Amino acid sequence: MKISEQLSKILTFIFFILLVQSAKAEEVREIWSEIEKKDISNNEKKNNDDSTSVVNKLEGVKVNLSDENILVDQNFDNSNSLLSGLFDPDDNDLKLDMWSKTDGIEIKKQLERIQSKNLSSFSERLMDVALLTNSYIPNQNLSVDEFESYTVDHLIKKKDFNLVEQFIQKNSLIKEKERLTKHVADYYLSLNKIENSCSAIDSLGMITDEYLTYFKIYCLISQDKKNEAQLLFDLNSEVDTMNNFFVQKFEALMGYQDGNYILSDENVLFFHLSHKTDEKLIYYPTEESKEFIWKYLSNSNLIKNLNDFNLSDIEQVKFLEKATNEDIFEERDLLSLYKKFQFEIDDLINYEKASKNLPDYEERALLYQRFLLTDNVGKKLLLLSKLNSSFEKSNLKKSFDDELSKLLKKMDKDEIPSKFSSFYQNNLITNANKKNKIKFNDEVFHQSKVLNYFLNKNSLTKTQKLTDNLLLKMKKDKDYSFDFKDIVLLQSLRSDGIEIGEIDELSQYKHDLNPELDKMIDNNESGMILLKLVEIIGEKELNELNSQSLNFVIEIMNRTKLISLRNELLLEILPLKV
């Protein structure tokens, strides 16, 4: 093995120290901790010492410090300590002290209740604001590290990698930076984007995590820095017992051995190394395979051809359905697979009876084939609704949403039977086209141009005049009755200072908050109120909430003066969009 002169010097220096200190692992850790500290100090002073420059290149030496080396000032007051964040409080009508008046024990209880939920899109939006807004730490019973651990948990569960990278860049000193970096590095590696993974790893200073240390060594190899990879490998071999699988893959990648074909799917890195050392890798995933396996196989062109799928193999079919739900396979490919199933003509004619004796995936194939054989619009919609329900029951809603919308768009909306109008509208408008423009209709109050106020296009004065004119017009129309959406709009306008005259329906939707929320609002505990709103909305999308829940949420936002977030909610549920 060839090692540069500089590396040879540093290795000699290391071995000398190891001999003097009796080569004890804990002592080695302390030595390298001191070297790292000196390296940082020398780097700031622009010292050109050869040994220091080599150590400075190797930012990944693993060091563990015992608790006895850490001194804590028990008298330190952290009441004005800022939490890591991304958002300015003013962006969402909040203040730096949004958590200050809330007991940390109650915050932890609330966060733990929320953690078990699969939050809807608006709930996630509220959680982002609650946990990622720059603010002071609660005054009692919750440390900075504890709070930020909940923030990291949320970011990892959310899987918004752009948001995670922004958070890391803005909060480089966060204690759990390694955990977030591992999350990002694994994500890019599952997409077979090793450069992006290594870029994330390279942004770290000293690495203490074993997995990230292995990742760093591999990155050095992939960047053609084998000498540095060898040095880092040797240093870690001295202080810790290294994973046998990684050791074997390291030796193969360095060219010390050939024909290493052992495979591990323990994590993304090990699976990648299995593929990297075996270009003919064959791996058969199942329904239970981890998500990163699907992504890696798909992005590395290792998925078997669709034509090779064995329809009698339940695991393979279920795998494809689940992978489609995870956006790994195309929905149209799944529908093509359904067309390959063989059914008797009697089963297709009497599909309702036949489907009762079929497993869920085969039932979906039967319904889809029957749909293709039908010309009647009403019958088509019935079959599509049954097919959609089957996906939902199997928690595979995303396996059919886009294709369902495309099939509905091919139908003439004037021919849609009234009993299917709701199904047609709800599934025609997908997430991709929800951002369409608002269509104003001044014949309906909650669809009128009053909405421009919530788009920040009209002043209060102009909105007052427009509101007065519309209400006068609607009161004169004896056939017009204010529905729930009109009422929540009127309540929000009144909360912002618009004068609203007597409207009988307003009293019907009056909602008194419970004493706990009243106290929080009076005490300006806006952070905790956001968590309460997350719990209320939970896993339901806004269009799935009943009028009572929506009224409750909007009333809380009005009283707490969470105007920006309330406007987002109103603009989601009120306007007519085209």
Residues sharing a CB contact under 8 Å with residue 573, sequence separation 6 or more, in sequence order? 485, 542, 543, 550
Return the closest-CA partner of residue 425 out of 479, 385, 462, 477: 385
Domain boundaries, the chain: 5-57, 176-303, 321-428, 438-577
Residue with tokens 């290594």: 198
Alpha helices in 509-562 (DSSP H): 515-522, 526-537, 547-560
pLDDT at 362: 92
pLDDT, the chain, mean:
83
Q: How confident is the model at residue 569 (pLDDT cuts 50, 70, 90)?
A: very high
Q: What is the pLDDT of residues 304-319, one digit of tens each?
A: 555 566 666 677 788 7
Dihedral sign, CA of 340, 346, 351, 354? Answer: negative
Lowest-pLDDT choice from 127-131, 352-356, 509-513: 509-513
Residue whose tokens read 């996630």: 124
Between 305 and 497, name the one with better pLDDT. Answer: 497
> For residue 490, is pLDDT > 90?
yes
68-86 burial code (b ≥16 CB/10 A, e <16) = eeeeeeeeeeeeeeebbbb
Contact 249, 260 (CB under 8 A): yes
pLDDT at residue 196 in the model:
94
pLDDT tier, 58 (very low <50, low <70, confident <90, very high otherwise): very low
pLDDT at 511: 67
* Cβ-Cβ contacts under 8 Å for 118 (sequence gap 6 or more): 539
Judge whether residue 302 has pLDDT over 70.
yes
Question: What is the tens place of the pLDDT at every residue in 100-136?
Answer: 999 999 999 999 999 888 899 999 999 999 999 999 9
pLDDT in tens, 233-250: 999 999 889 999 999 999
Question: 186 exposed, middle or buried (CB, 10 Å; 0-12, 13-18, 19+)?
Answer: buried
Write phi, then psi, for 116 (nearest 5 degrees): -80, -5
